Amino acid sequence: MTSPLIIPDVASLPEYEGRELGHSSWHTIDQSRIDAFAAATGDHQWIHVDRERAARESPFGGTVAHGFLTVALAPALLPELVEVSNCSRIVNYGIEKLRLREPVPAGARLRLGASIQGVRSVPGGAMWVSLAIKFEVEGVKRPVCAGELIFVYFP
């Protein structure tokens, strides 16, 4: 992993439209993280939390992370890729074109890749930013998750 791209301020964001941000470091998605996510969301489906049953009945040979756990890691990993200085707040505006293409097995190492896809002005000096994201699992050919995150950055 390299250092994050430092954007000096919100007004400078349009200069970075189309910019590839690279990849975060690898992060292990262990069973304890999956179990904690299940506890936080109430999603205790056996494919995520029952190791014995998942080993016996799942087509994946063991437990897998919740798709929304993978997506929820984006705000935690994005600061490894980009930082907007002199920004008072960032509002999550939503997700477009989200696809969960492959399972993330417990114990897998995952990383985030992103690029600044689009930037447009919002009244009051804020900027609407679209980030194309893809999560990769080590050793898996295609991204396990891809989509477009939308954030609004305020000066």
Residue 55 lies in a domain: no
Which class for 50: exposed (0-12), middle (13-18), buried (19 or more C-beta within 10 A)? Answer: middle
CB 127 within 8 Å of CB 9: no
Domain holding 110: CATH number? 3.10.129.10
The count of structural domains within the chain is: 1
Residue 56 lies in a domain: no
Residue 37 lies in a domain: no
Domain of 114? Answer: 5-28+66-154
Q: pTM of the prediction? A: 0.92
| pLDDT tens per residue, range 3-60 | 999 999 999 999 999 999 999 999 999 999 999 999 999 999 999 999 999 999 999 9
Residue 134 lies in a domain: yes
Model pLDDT, residue 1:
55
Taking the alpha carbons at both ends of the chain, their separation in whole angstroms is 28
